[in-house]
Amino acid sequence: MRYATRWVTGLVAVAAVVGLTGLGTTAAQAKAKTTNKVVTFSQLTNHNPHRLAAIRQAARQEILTATHAKSSKVAAVYKVKLPHNMAKKATLTKDGVKMNLLPNSFKVKHITIPYKQLQGKVLNKYLPKANRVTPLKTKKVVALTFDDGPDPTLTPRLLKTLKANKVHATFFEVGQSVSRYPKVSRAVLAGGNELGNHSWNHPDFNAIGTAKTVSQVNRTNQAIYKATGQLPEYVRPPYGNITAAEGRAIEQPIIRWSVDSRDWAYLNTKKDIQSVVSATRSGSIILMHDIHAQSVAAVPTIIHKLKAKGYHFVTVGQLLDQQALPGLQYFGQHDYRTAGK
């Protein structure tokens, strides 16, 4: 299941691959981006529900940012009614996409989502050139990811290694640990890395049901927002388990992996190195854990050996060209399918 083939429904494929290229964008269209042009969400997304879910995700962050909301308001932002109807309209302004809101507890009538927050979420032709998706030009790329942190000792040690080697990674953190060590989570972002959601206390989502899964994710989003001021974009379900219903309800992209180091089973630095280096291919998402000393000790050699093979390290967001969408799960570059499938 981890090595998914490159298939999605025709609608998603067209929107994700063809739509974002911005082919056929005229000078008049480019100029219109900075005017008060009214568009439908169907136009913005090429009638793609996954992209509309991504816009809702960006809207929640903007509501919190615009109101300088405390973490206690994170639960409330998920209750704000946001567009599901493709026929609803928004306005392209010089600063971003302006959306009207229904009455809500934040007492906000409208928000303007900055264009930079909508990269990969709306079609390229509606974005300024600086915010359009541009595929990675580097051929041999991989993404290091680390689960189950933050650890007060090992995560900072790992961050020093990454910085020394000029490598950025993606960390999927457990909410209860974020609450204990918020300073470490802030350091992850400060180092130019990505921070994702790995549940509150690492249950098997398949065993707890959709309602409890959503609660696990939202509670961790709240902890990460409290620590960093940002809602995490991505979710990695513990054990990689998630149902289609849970994938729809979470409304965040699901990040899986294509290279499993099995470092938790080995607890052996040499085996960790061999496991990762031998299995890595271009476009791989590598799964490791920053709560095991042996794993952290393996990272410098893994980086050295993969660089020697010509690989470049990028974050998950960079690997996926910032195009990961809610309702879909991603195993590697160009390797995704519907969540729960």
How many structural domains does the chain have? 2
Where does the pLDDT of residue 21 fall: very low under 50, low under 70, confident under 90, or very high at 90 and above?
Answer: very low
CB atoms within 10 A of CB 37: 15
Give residue 329's domain range: 141-338
Q: Are residues 73 and 193 in the same domain?
A: no
Q: What is the pLDDT of residues 309-328, one digit of tens each?
A: 999 999 999 999 999 999 99
Q: Are residues 124 and 223 in the same domain?
A: no
- The catalytically annotated residue of 50, 168, 198, 289 is 289
For residues 328-340, b (16+ Cβ closer than 10 Å) or e, as one string?
bbbbbbebbbbbb
Q: Are residues 126 and 158 in the same domain?
A: no
Q: What is the mean pLDDT of the chain?
A: 91
Q: What is the pLDDT of residues 169-211, one digit of tens each?
A: 999 999 999 999 999 999 999 999 999 999 999 999 999 999 9
Q: What is the pLDDT of residues 278-296, one digit of tens each?
A: 999 999 999 999 999 999 9
Q: With contact defined as beta carbons under 8 Å apart, do 324 and 233 qualify?
A: yes
Q: What is the pLDDT of residues 49-71, one digit of tens each?
A: 999 999 999 999 999 999 999 99
**Is 289 considered catalytic here?**
yes
Q: Are residues 177 and 324 in the same domain?
A: yes
Q: Give a yes or no: residue 2 inside a domain.
A: no
* pTM attached to this predicted model: 0.89
Q: What is the pLDDT of residues 222-241, one digit of tens each?
A: 999 999 999 999 999 999 99
Q: Are residues 195 and 332 in the same domain?
A: yes
Q: Which residue has the higher pLDDT, 286 or 21?
A: 286
Q: Looking at residue 325, which CATH number applies to its domain? A: 3.20.20.370
Q: Are residues 145 and 250 in the same domain?
A: yes
Q: With contact defined as beta carbons under 8 Å apart, do 210 and 56 qualify?
A: no
Q: Give a yes or no: residue 252 inside a domain.
A: yes
Tell me how far CA of residue 238 lies from CA of 37, 204, 230, 279, in angstroms.
Answer: 43, 6, 22, 22
Is the confidence at residue 5, as pLDDT, over 90? Answer: no
Is the confidence at residue 95, as pLDDT, over 70? Answer: yes
Q: Are residues 149 and 268 in the same domain?
A: yes
Closest CA to 298 of 325, 318, 274, 329: 274
Where does the pLDDT of residue 34 fall: very low under 50, low under 70, confident under 90, or very high at 90 and above?
Answer: low
- The catalytically annotated residue of 50, 147, 151, 198 is 147
**Is 147 considered catalytic here?**
yes
Q: Give a yes or no: residue 4 inside a domain.
A: no
Q: Are residues 164 and 266 in the same domain?
A: yes
Domain boundary among 81, 109, 131: 131
Q: How many helices (H) and strands (E) does the chain have?
A: 15, 13
| Separation CA 218–CA 237 (nearest Å) | 13
Helix (H, G, I), strand (E, B) or coil at 249: helix
Q: Are residues 145 and 268 in the same domain?
A: yes
Q: With contact defined as beta carbons under 8 Å apart, do 317 and 233 qualify?
A: yes
Q: Are residues 106 and 158 in the same domain?
A: no
Q: Give a yes or no: residue 136 inside a domain.
A: no
Domain boundary among 131, 165, 196: 131
Is the confidence at residue 116, as pLDDT, over 90? Answer: yes
Domain boundary among 85, 113, 131: 131
